[in-house]
Structure 1
């Protein structure tokens, strides 16, 4: 009794992937790309869900990776490695780019996240101190603020700039403008409290 022969599927798969990639590279063949997509997209999605724990981001990874495979297919060299290795390296690079982008977005918005009362300070306190801000006493208090906080208060209350306009004018993130405003208003409130005692 002879032993069953080992399936040739992995080698056949390798040849098919090489053929499809070559057809995409040389002919921009959409049918071959469709075959690559059917084979590779579910694997990318599975990897993306593990990486991001988010289906929408996993699908974005599928789209970005497959777009790059379409654009860069001419760079694949079968003598240097398997098509799967080449495609997975593109997928990993795209996932790193996405993770960096997500981290950058988190860093840029952290000021908004940690100061949830900024909007209240920017509106309620403005109404509360609107009359006082015209007072010379308040202007003297403003002079005692650090320069970066004084710039923000003057820009918002005397120049009537929005936080976004001021951020652009000072070349700062909006979150930094909000943080400086919060600190300045807290100091003014303390000074007002002391002067009223």
Structure 2
């Protein structure tokens, strides 16, 4: 892209993404913003993969949320950089909250037993009982439990898939497991 890009062009591309899901317009936005976002992210994150993740997540959010852009309220660059700022804050919180990853060690034996305890899953009635108890959980907790245990997604993958902070995923999983233990009793890990 050798010609100079102006505010009007950026707005047109964002509107094309919002209204027509125009992939070519998104490609232009990506080519314009990705190098700038990467340069900014490199100053905030210790490694290249984290900086690249901010670019990917920001541009994914631009694709998904383009309909929220209103050129009457501000510049396209301001809107995209606000999206980037939010992604950056979430990523920094994730890094600072890595102590929460210890929670996954507490959950791991539960996941391991759920997968390796053939008796509980060979028993059709036991599986049916487990599923019926899961169905009683709030929808948000059901999504996390099913994604983690049945779809075998990591907590990080669930956070991206559900567009939620990692800490929220961990909290929902912890609460759901506590509720499942209450419902099923101590003999079901």
- Normalised by the length of structure 2, the TM-score is 0.51
Structure with the greater alpha carbon radius of gyration: 1
2:60 aligned residue (54, 57, 67): 67
1:103 aligned residue (89, 96, 100): 96
Aligned structure 1 segments of 4 or more residues deviating by more than 4 angstroms: none
Three-state SS of the structure 1 residue aligned to 2:71 is coil
CA distance in 2 between partners of 1:63 and 1:77 (Å): 22
CA drift at 1:71? 0.4
CA distance in 2 between partners of 1:106 and 1:92 (Å): 23
Aligned to 1:42: 35
Three-state SS of the structure 2 residue aligned to 1:79 is coil
Equivalences for 1:116-131 in 2 at 5 Å?
none
Equivalences for 1:16-165 in 2 at 5 Å?
16-106=9-99, 108-109=101-102
Aligned positions, number:
105
- Structure 1, unmatched stretches of 5+, are 1-8, 113-170, 172-197
CA distance in 2 between partners of 1:35 and 1:46 (Å): 18
- TM-aligned CA distance change 1:47 to 1:106, over 3 Å: farther
CA distance in 2 between partners of 1:71 and 1:108 (Å): 28
Once the two structures are superposed, what CA deviation does each residue of 1:49-98 show, in whole Å capped at 9, x if it has no partner?
Answer: 10112110000000100000000000000000000000000000000000
- Normalised by the length of structure 1, the TM-score is 0.49
- TM-aligned CA distance change 1:68 to 1:107, over 3 Å: same
- TM-aligned CA distance change 1:48 to 1:106, over 3 Å: farther
Aligned alpha-carbon RMSD (Å) = 2.4
CA distance in 2 between partners of 1:102 and 1:108 (Å): 10
Once the two structures are superposed, what CA deviation does each residue of 1:94-117 show, in whole Å capped at 9, x if it has no partner?
Answer: 0000011111114545xx9xxxxx
Three-state SS of the structure 1 residue aligned to 2:59 is helix
